[in-house]
Chains A and B, each alone.
Chain A
Amino acid sequence: MRIGLFVTCLTDTLFPDTGRAVVTVLERLGHQVDFPAAQACCGQMHFNTGYRREAVPMVRGTVAAFAGYDAVVSPSASCTSMVREYYPALAGEAGDAALARAVAELVPRTWELSEYLTGVLGVTDVGAYFPHRVTYHPSCHSLRMLAVGDAPLRLLRAVRGLDLADLPDAESCCGFGGTFAVKNPDVSAAICADKVTAIRQTGAEVVCAADNSCLMHIGGALTRQRSGVATMHLAEILARTEEA
């Protein structure tokens, strides 16, 4: 099984620990991981902001970078859903039959990390150890676009030492929404304030999610409030062991 790590531009640029954690977890499970350096951005920000034309070259780049891998695995439900939900439409709009074929071939091989671990590899216990109180925020794209269900929670429950706290009103959005956070900053901040209140009610030391974008948003408010609650991507918790 040749796994291509689709790290996403956000994680690559701002959260490299998450990328390293995905590599650690998959290698611990005995798989070979490769990082195709030709990858850049999947184009979601442009697409979601209305710059569809500008997104097409990014679709081409992503499709080309991951040609030939058995599985393409990403620590982002959001970017995975971009590939699965909107790449076919964008390829169609570009009027490029070869691109459309390549997209159709890429889509069924593309997985978000938690669904890949539980659904494809059939693993819930990845041998992790993390003795902390953790709450889980189901990001909107993992919950409603990819429908990963309780896959992340099953992975977390199997982590030794981890004390999982239920998040009130968990399925509510954190208010990030990509460029929404800067185009509608007042509303975005108001939504985030309620999410942060819910997180602080749990008494968790760490809030985790399957998307660094939401965590960047939630974390930005948590540190501004000096809450002491840390944000960690699911992969980083799964990578922890007694040794590291």
Chain B
Amino acid sequence: MTAPEASGTYHPGMPTYLGMPAFPVAAAAAVADSQLRANLAHATRTIRAKRARAVAELADWEELRAAGKTIKDHTLANLDHYLLRLEENVTGAGGHVHWAQDATEANAIVAGLVRAAGTDRVVKVKSMATQEIGLNEALAAEGIAVLETDLAELIVQLGHDLPSHILVPAIHKNRAEIREIFLREMPDAPAGLTDDPRALAAAARAHLRQAFLSAKVGISGANFAIAETGSLVVVESEGNGRMCVTLPETLISVVGIEKVLPSWRDLEVFLALLPRSSTAERMNPYTSIWTGVMPGDGPEEFHLVLVDNGRTAALADRTGRQALRCIRCSACLNVCPVYERTGGHAYGSPYPGPIGAIISPQLRGVSSPSDASLPFASTLCGACYQVCPVAINIPEALVHLRAEVVDAKRGKIISPERTMFHVSGLVLGSPRLLAAAQRGASLSGRLVARSGRIRRLPRPLSAWTETRDAPAPPRESFRAWWARTRGTR
């Protein structure tokens, strides 16, 4: 799936996903793609089982989870304080701090820094914040070429595609499809390239190596930013991130303001929670931590761009703000029954799955069809909440945002759904009206039923009977039976 042409006004939030259709429309297309569903089912089931084993190894997992939640909540409640401390300590260590209110500002700052470094090519570490602000597209518009160095991000970039998973952006592609992309888009791909994962990784490695050695500017995000020391932390598997944060002369890190942690010791909790939740590893292979600049070691210049882009607004929402605890592990995606069938593109945002369904509408508002539909893209089964390493009650936030979507439309447009819910609320809230409706349903239901089942209902309930029978109402409701046999109280 490629980004559709932008329709409507320019939104600084996430430009690449502009104009996405509502979730049910996008999801229907995804569900019909049997190859996609097979890829997703295999990948999510595998990682789900591995995560469960990795988490079960720790007897104090629930305590760790509670600690992660508490530290994040404390930080968010004192965000102004910790951000200023972070700025002070990054600056003190020889780094530069920039503040960006939205995506446009952040992109302009980064473009300016790249031009000031005298180059038009950058290498990039996998980062969600830069996906969110559409940095690659913004830099391309300025004539700056960006090379994604995370293997999966590289696959997505070469395929002119969009990421569909937080941790595994190319989860929707199998290895045969990846081989085709490499042969088509990577000029230096070996002619006899097979779809053996090792051969594919080796081809990407050779392709990236020259860029690492020649790039003047590296761009990263950060998993954590330590206020106490001014240190930035990137957690990864491949080591390509470490190349980007150590080899170029200039390093620019684009970081959401909610990524700050108060102190060095807080890292212990998160470095236990994150790898087990995301890759199901006890520890990830590469954890890079840097503090400002060090003469003769690593980049000579370091810039930290702190991005708000809707976070302050989310912080003001008592129920919604818990989404800002997210550490982008993607455990919720892997257990979600909806994500498993639709994949990430249907969510119309770099943040897919359950967490995306509560983050995107908060960062972007609920005015677009896609954003207004995201809080409803869940069965509320609660599997996401159960696995979340920082205990984000995603179902609670979803129903909260659903009310926001409904309330935003009140008094503006006449909606058949709202009328239906108003009327059904009156009926279902009154024992007398409910009993009358039951008698009516019993009569009419039995007229259309065949052997106790109804095979076709009018809209909107036809959406049910497309694939499922509906039960015929019984001759007598429970309350009618009780009244007849036991007498009313």
A7 CB–B CB distance under 8 Å: yes
The reply to whether A177 and B378 contact each other, CB–CB distance below 8 Å, is yes
Across the interface, do A183 and B376 meet the contact criterion of CB distance under 8 Å?
A: yes
A20 to B478 alpha-carbon distance, docked (Å): 7
Beta-carbon nearest neighbor of A169 in chain B: B45
| A51-B425, A173-B383 known; A37 vs B466 contact (CB < 8 Å) | no
Q: Which A residues are in CB contact (< 8 Å) with B375?
A: 50
Contact between B381 and A57, CB atoms less than 8 A apart: no
Which of A57, A58, A144, A184 lies at the interface centre, i.e. has the most chain B CB atoms within 10 A of its CB?
A: A184
Query: In the complex, which residues of chain A have a beta carbon less than 8 angstroms from the beta carbon of B482?
Result: 19, 35, 37
B386 at the interface (CB under 8 A from A): yes
Instruction: Select A144's contact among B341, B385, B474, beta carbons within 8 Å.
Output: B385
A150 interface residue (CB < 8 Å to B) = no
Q: Are A184 and B381 in contact (CB under 8 A)?
A: no
CA distance in complex: A16, B403 (Å): 32
Known: A13-B477, A35-B482, A223-B453. A188 touches B425 (CB 8 A): no
Given A144-B383, A177-B381, A189-B468; A54-B479 close (CB under 8 Å): no
Assess the A14–B467 pair: CB atoms within 8 A.
no
**Is A105 part of the contact surface with B, judged by Cβ < 8 Å?**
no
Contacts of A184 in B (CB 8 A): 23-24, 27, 338, 376-377
B331-353, CB under 8 A of A: which get 1 and which 0?
00000011001100000000000
Contacts of A39 in B (CB 8 A): 431
Contact of B469 with A140 in the complex, beta carbons under 8 Å: no
Stretch at the interface among A117-125, A127-135, A158-166, A212-220: A212-220
Query: At the interface with chain A, which of B78-86, B159-167, B457-465?
Result: B457-465
Contacts of A46 in B (CB 8 A): 421, 424-425, 428
A54–B486 Cα gap in the complex (Å)?
Answer: 32
Please pick, from B430, B434, B467, B481, the residue contacting A221 in the complex, using a CB distance under 8 A. Answer: B467
Alpha-carbon gap, A143 to B380, bound state (A): 12
Whether the Cβ atoms of B434 and A40 lie closer than 8 Å is: yes
Q: Give B317-333 as 1s and 0s: 1 = Cβ < 8 Å from A's Cβ atoms.
A: 00000000000000000
B31 within 8 A of A: yes
On whether the beta carbons of B406 and A37 are closer than 8 Å, the reply is: no
B32 → A minimal CB distance (Å)? 8
Bound together, the chains give a CA A43 to CA B383 distance in angstroms of 23
Within 8 Å of chain A (Cβ to Cβ): is B379? Answer: yes
Q: Are A185 and B466 in contact (CB under 8 A)?
A: yes
B402 adjacent to A12 (CB under 8 Å): no
Kindly provide the distance from the CB of B13 to the nearest chain A CB, expressed in whole angstroms.
Answer: 22
Least CB distance from B483 to A in Å reads 7
Interface string of A191-224 (1 = CB under 8 A from B): 1100000000000000000000000110111011
B265 at interface (Cβ–Cβ under 8 A)? no
Bound form: Cα–Cα A223–B468 in Å:
8
Among candidates A11, A13, A54, A190, residue contacting B473 with C-beta atoms closer than 8 Å: A13
Is the Cβ of B429 less than 8 Å from the Cβ of A57? Answer: yes
Instruction: Provide the residues of chain B in CB contact with A220, threshold 8 Å.
Output: 453, 464, 467-471
> How big is the A interface, by class?
35 or more
Interface residue total, chain B, C-beta cutoff 8 A: 66
Given A46-B425, A187-B31: A16 in contact with B481 (beta carbons within 8 A): yes
Given contacts A14-B474, A186-B31, contact A140 B341 (CB under 8 A): no
- A12 with B438: CB separation less than 8 A: yes
Taking a contact as CB atoms under 8 Å apart, the answer to whether B464 and A180 are in contact is no
Q: Please report the C-alpha to C-alpha distance between residue A216 and residue B386 in the assembled complex, in whole angstroms.
A: 25
Mask, B35-54, CB within 8 Å of A = 1, is 00100000000000000000
Residue A170 is within 8 A (CB to CB) of chain B in the complex: no
Q: Does A29 contact B (CB under 8 A)?
A: no
Cβ of B120 to closest chain A Cβ, rounded Å: 43
B467 touches A58 (CB 8 A): no
User: In the complex, which of the residues B337, B430, B441, B483 contacts A173, with contact meaning CB atoms closer than 8 Å?
Assistant: B337
Residue of A nearest to B488 (CB): A37
Interface residues in A44-89 (C-beta closer than 8 Å to B): 45-52, 54-55, 57-58, 61, 86
Chain A residues positioned under 8 Å from B403 (CB to CB):
50-52
B452 and chain A: residue at smallest CB distance = A223
Is there an interface contact between B467 and A185, defined as CB atoms closer than 8 Å? yes
Chain A residues lying within 8 Å of B429, measured Cβ to Cβ, are 40-41, 43, 57-58, 61
A223 to B404, CA, bound (A): 37
Residue pair A12, B425 in contact (C-beta under 8 Å) = no
Known contacts A38-B431, A50-B406, A54-B425, A144 near B37 by CB under 8 Å:
no
* With A19-B478, A40-B434, A50-B403 as contacts: A58 and B428 at CB distance below 8 Å: yes
Chain B stretch 430-454: residues in CB contact (< 8 A) with chain A:
430-431, 434, 437-438, 441, 453
Q: A41-B428, A191-B338 are in contact. Are A14 and B473 (CB under 8 A)?
A: yes
Q: Which residues of B contact A14 (CB under 8 A)?
A: 471, 473-474
Q: Which of A16, A180, A185, A224 contacts B379 (CB 8 A)?
A: A180
B458 to chain A, nearest CB (A): 12
Q: Which chain B residues lie closer than 8 Å to A224 at the CB level?
A: 455, 467-469
Cα separation A188 to B138 with both chains bound (whole Å): 37
Q: Name 9 interchain pairs, CB-CB below 8 A, sorted by A.
A: A9-B434, A15-B478, A17-B474, A41-B434, A46-B421, A184-B376, A187-B377, A191-B341, A220-B464
| Residue ranges of B at the interface with A (Cβ–Cβ < 8 Å) | 23-24, 27-28, 31-32, 37, 337-338, 341-342, 375-383, 385-386, 399, 402-407, 418, 421-422, 424-425, 428-431, 434, 437-438, 441, 453, 455, 460-461, 463-464, 466-471, 473-474, 476-479, 481-483, 486, 488-489
Residues of A within 8 A of B (CB): 7, 9, 11-17, 19-20, 34-41, 43, 45-52, 54-55, 57-58, 61, 86, 140-141, 143-145, 171-173, 175-192, 216-217, 219-221, 223-224
Given contacts A12-B478, A16-B481, A43-B428, 7 further A-B contacts (CB under 8 A): A11-B478, A16-B474, A46-B424, A50-B375, A144-B381, A173-B379, A190-B31
Cβ-closest 5 pairs across A and B = A177-B379, A220-B468, A50-B402, A41-B428, A50-B406
